[in-house]
Copies of this chain bind each other. A is one copy, B any other.
Amino acid sequence: MTILGEMLIGSRTVKGTSKAIQAINPATNENLEPLFGGGSKEDVDAAAELAWAAFDSFRETDPETRARFLETCADEILALGDELVQRAMAETGLPQARIEGERGRTMNQLRLFASVVRSGNYLDVRIDPAMPERQPLPRNDLRLRMIPLGPVAVFGASNFPLAFSVAGGDTASALAAGCPVVVKAHSAHPGTSELVGRAIQAAVAKCQLPEGVFSLLFGSGNEVGVELVKHPRIKAVGFTGSRAGGTALMEQAAKRPEPIPVYAEMCSINPVFLMPQALNARGEAIAKGFVGSLTMGAGQFCTNPGLVIAQSGAELDTFLEVAAAELSKVATQTMLTPGIFSAYCSGVDRLKGNAGVREVAVGQGSDAPNQCRAGLYVTSAEAFIADESLGDEVFGSTSLVIECKSVADFVRVAEHLEGQLTATLQLEDADIEAARALLPVLERKAGRILCNGYPTGVEVCHAMVHGGPFPATSDSRTTSVGSAAINRFLRPVCYQDLPQALLPEAIKDSNPLGIRRLVDGQDQR
C-alpha cells in the first residue's frame, strides 16, 4: 500500500482539487509527503449520495454479515502492518508503543461492536401481542425495533490518530448500527487516515457491501466539514475536538431545515478530589500517580487530570512537594500539532499571568519544536470560584490545584464546575461519608466517576461512559466509547399489525435472530 494523497469516495479514489493539506512531523516541523488535495462541495455531495444509496440495503444486512464486515475492517487495518505504525508516528510524534497499543484498541473496538451486532440487544425489541378480546377496545399487535438514523458524518480527532479517527469509535458504532459513514479526515494525520480508509474500503469490497458504506474526504479549511453537516443526506454527526469546533457544528446542525443530532466530545478538566484521609495516608503515592497521569501522552488525553481539589495543610504541602519533585524531572514531549502547542502556551501564560495563581513546578525544558513542558499551579477555592477562566481547559500536561479550607469547599467547587467527562475521588474508608455528600454533585457533573485511580485510560467495554454534561459533550445522553455508543445512531420504529411476511426478521414471531425481546413487558429469548 502506498499513500497517494487521495480521497476515497465509495469505491473510487479521487484526487482533491481544492487547497491541499500536507502533514508535518511535529517532532521536527518537517513536511511529510505527499500533498492531499482538499475536497469540494461536489465531492461531499458524491460521498453523501453514495452513502444514501447504500443506506437501505446496508441497514438490512443480516447481523452476521455486518459483524464480519467490522471484523474484516480490523483485519485489514492490521494487514497495513508497519507502514501504518510508522506513518502515524511521523504524523503525530507519538511513540511506537502508543501507536501499536492504539491500533490494538481500534481493532478490539471494531470486534466489540461485531459482538454487539450479533447479540442484537441494541435492537431493543419489544412485542405487545394483540388482545382482540380486550374491553372496551381490543389491542393491536405492536412491535418495536431500533433502526439506524442514516448516513453519519464523522470528524477524525487529532489526539488519537487511530482510535478516535477514521476507524475509531464513532465510525465503528455507526457502522455497527447500520449507518454508512463519511469521514472528514483530521488534517494533522492525512496519511494515516488514507491508509486506514483504504483498509475499510477494502473491507467493504471483500464483504460485497454497497460502495457508499464508507467514504473519506480531506479538506484544509472548514468547507468540507460544513458542507457535510449541512448535507440533507447526512443524518447525524460524530466529532471529537475543541469546544469551539464542536459548538460550531452544533449550531450548523440545529439550523438545518431538518435538524440532526451532533455527538461532539469537546473539553474536560477532569477534577481529582483528594479526600483528607487518603491525602494523609497516601499523599506521596497519589502525587506520583497523579504526575504520571498528567504527563502521559503530553497531557493530550481528553481525560487528563487538569484540576486537583484538596484541603490545605501539611498533607497538601507534602503532596505538592512530591508532585513538584516528580514533575520537575519530566522531560518535554512532542505535542500533536503546532496549533495545539501554541494553544497550550497561551493557556499556560494565562495561568501564569493570573494574580490568584502560583506556580508550583514546571517540567524540564527543550529547544526542540512543539515541546510540551509540564506545569503545576495552585490557587484557592475562592479565587477559582470567582474567576471563570480558571475552569477553562489547558490541553496539555498542566494542572491546577485548588486549596480548600474544608471538605465543605469540595462541594462548592464541584457545584461550580461545568460538565466533565470524569471526576475522580482519592479516598480511604474513613472518607466514604464525606464522599457520599460529594457523589450526587459529581453524578450531575460527569459521565464517569472513579475512585483511587486516574482518569486517563478509557476501557472499551459495555459499562464505559465517555461522555458527560455540556460542554464535556454536546449530548450527555450518550457515550462515545464502549458498546452503548451504538445507541447514538438509532431510532425506534413501531410496527402495528404487519403481516409476518412483511415484518423485519428481528420482530417476526419465530425470532429467527434468536435475540432478547421484551414480550408484554417480560424478557424472552
Q: List residues of chain A with CB under 8 Å of any chain B CB.
A: 56, 60, 101, 115, 119, 121, 124, 126-128, 136-137, 139-140, 142-144, 147, 149-150, 250-251, 254, 258-259, 261, 419, 427, 429, 432, 435-436, 439-440, 443-444, 446-453, 457, 459, 461-465, 467, 469-471, 474-479, 483-484, 490-499, 501-502, 516, 518, 520-521, 523
Contact = CB atoms under 8 A, between A and B. Distances in A.
A143 to B, nearest CB: 5
A476 B142 contact: no
A183 to B, nearest CB: 22
Contacts of A475: 261
Given A251-B254, A443-B493, A450-B495, 17 more contacts: A60-B440, A119-B521, A124-B484, A140-B450, A142-B464, A144-B484, A149-B477, A150-B444, A258-B469, A261-B475, A432-B499, A449-B496, A451-B497, A463-B494, A463-B518, A465-B494, A523-B523
A427 B502 CA distance: 11
Nearest to A441: B56
Given A127-B463, A128-B463, A484-B144, A435 B492 contact: no
A467 to B, nearest CB: 7
A12 B300 CA distance: 51
B144 A495 contact: no
Contact of A462 (B128, B261, B457): B128
Contacts of A449: 493-496, 498
A137 to B, nearest CB: 8
A447 B521 contact: no
Given A258-B469, A258-B470, A492-B467, A498 B451 contact: yes
A494 to B, nearest CB: 4
Contacts of A124: 484
B261 A497 contact: no
A521 B113 CA distance: 11
Among A136, A462, A475, residue most surrounded by chain B Cβ atoms (within 10 Å): A462
A452 B465 CA distance: 43
Contact of A478 (B432, B478, B492): B492
Contacts of A457: 137, 140
B484 A126 contact: yes
B477 A491 contact: yes
Contacts of A469: 258, 491
A255 B497 CA distance: 42
A101 B140 CA distance: 18
A265 to B, nearest CB: 14
A443 B121 contact: no
A144 B450 contact: no
B493 A465 contact: yes
B494 A447 contact: yes
A432 B501 contact: yes
B450 A493 contact: no
5 smallest CB-CB distances across A and B, nearest first, come from A450-B496, A465-B494, A142-B463, A126-B463, A144-B463
A235 to B, nearest CB: 9
Contacts of A483: 521
A73 to B, nearest CB: 20
A443 B147 contact: yes
Given A128-B459, A254-B250, A444-B150, A496 B453 contact: yes
Contacts of A444: 56, 150
B484 A261 contact: no
A261 B479 CA distance: 16
